[in-house]
A and B are shown apart, each in its own frame.
Chain A
């Protein structure tokens, strides 16, 4: 594909997004709560779309399609188990929202720090999130660079794609904080799902005559791809190690758990949750069908990562659709990355700066937090340019690594005996174990880091908590308030 077409498409996408961002930031004040969580005023529809765009990255149409290509139907199961993990939002969403509103929390780390009465816990959780999420963001940027380079057959160098992705990531978030991110996310989510749907219909009806035809071809030529363990990639242990940490993604990843603070009402949160589930089911189905189509049409590829770029070059997909798919994948990566970077910036302001200097003026917090948007994006860019193997390891380890925060979150709402010492020990030791197991290829009893990091952090959280003194007064006050308010709102 001609490089000029790609540049034009990306420019149009950027202009459209910027118009939306300018519209969204009208009336924005220079307050920290306004910049980072839009003053808790986001409506249900926009909340659902920003939640969707933040959660679903370039991984879906590239990585998940690739996993389907290599491992078959197990990819569908793994991703739907993740989706079912959103039941946790039905329980924790109202709790986060009510506590956030009552105590003025802006980040999930702030909630933990206040509940366990520990500034150290607040800072440790923020640092752990930064360590795991910067490489994850770098991988997203690298994905755009690789995609543009591949589609233009090298006419757009990897570095040019990287610069474009970083630039777009910075601009909207820096301009209008959460308001701009939420609205541009909405635009991007719609773009992602519409384009993906059209492209998959082109492939399925163009090449197989319909979904029945596709599954007939798979059953005849690649039957193992329709069962698990199937071709072998998704053996039971690998499946559990992948699916377990992803089940807790909505609590473990701060860029999504922070979104539990933003709806303007519980009704809006309900729309956000149900809207996301419907979006997620459709987008997962499309990504899996995309991977199955690649397996049926081009079975000889060396790696699953090549499935999407190779499929886009086939005649069944008109060039203009292929171009739109590329923009859709770019949108998926940018909408995830700028949300992560905005969340990490809020953590620097609220969980590190404010913790170290509680009397700091809000205007300074706002200014510093905002400056960290480009700084984190540039850090992710620099990581991406290095193309270090370590980045990939940290990125893969991120789901297992962030899982270590979950026991402390559950304890905050359900276990008065939990302590900051227990939470910190679980997060630090569990996080180190996740990285070590991933980096060193350590698999005790054959189970991966996604299983062990959760077991280690939960065990340490419980044991150390039982050996140390809990903040009884705060725990009672916090849980009594949340439980009483839940009753009032008729939530369980």
Chain B
């Protein structure tokens, strides 16, 4: 169960971080507005932060 969750999260973060390299360079490279790469990277970071909050929420002391 734990092993499966670990693999699932690793795959999720791999896709998320890969998108932070590929999307701005290949899909948004000619959008010269604030809603282009700037917005994408901002949303990417917020998604990463929310994911970390979800992972760590279940930790027990």
Contacts and interface: CB of A to CB of B under 8 A. Distances in A.
Interface in A189-226: 215, 218-219, 223-224, 226
Interface string B1-31: 0100110010001001100110011001111
A53 to B, nearest CB: 19
A490 B25 contact: no
Contacts of A158: none
B34 to A, nearest CB: 4
Interface string A442-460: 0000000000000000000
A77 B37 contact: yes
Contacts of B53: 274
Chain A contact residues: helix, strand, loop or mixed: helix
Contact of B41 (A76, A89, A219, A267): A76
Given A87-B51, A492-B6, A227 B30 contact: yes
A270 B56 contact: yes
Interface stretch (A2-10, A235-243, A310-318, A355-363): A235-243
Given A77-B41, A281-B49, A492-B6, A265 B25 contact: no
Interface residues of A, number: 46
Interface residues of B, number: 38
Contacts, number: 123
Given A73-B37, A227-B32, A83 B58 contact: no
Q: Quick one: which of A73, A486, A488 has the most chain B CB within 10 A?
A: A73
B32 to A, nearest CB: 4
B20 A228 contact: no
A223 B32 contact: yes
B17 A265 contact: no
A67 to B, nearest CB: 14
A224 B30 CA distance: 9
A487 interface: yes
A226 B2 contact: no
A488 to B, nearest CB: 7
A219 B38 CA distance: 12
A153 interface: no
A239 B45 CA distance: 17
Given A73-B41, A83-B48, A281-B46, A219 B55 contact: no
A74 B49 CA distance: 20
Contacts of B30: 227
B14 to A, nearest CB: 10
A89 B9 CA distance: 13
Given A84-B44, A91-B6, A226 B37 contact: yes
B25 to A, nearest CB: 5
Nearest to A211: B34
Nearest to B53: A274
B56 A281 contact: no
Contacts of B28: 227-228
A25 B1 CA distance: 44
25 contacts: A73-B36, A74-B37, A76-B38, A80-B20, A81-B21, A84-B17, A215-B33, A215-B34, A219-B34, A223-B32, A226-B33, A227-B31, A228-B28, A228-B29, A236-B21, A266-B59, A267-B59, A269-B59, A270-B56, A270-B59, A273-B52, A274-B49, A277-B48, A489-B61, A491-B59
The 8 A-B pairs with the shortest beta carbon distances in the complex, nearest first, are A223-B32, A84-B48, A80-B45, A215-B34, A270-B56, A77-B41, A90-B55, A277-B49
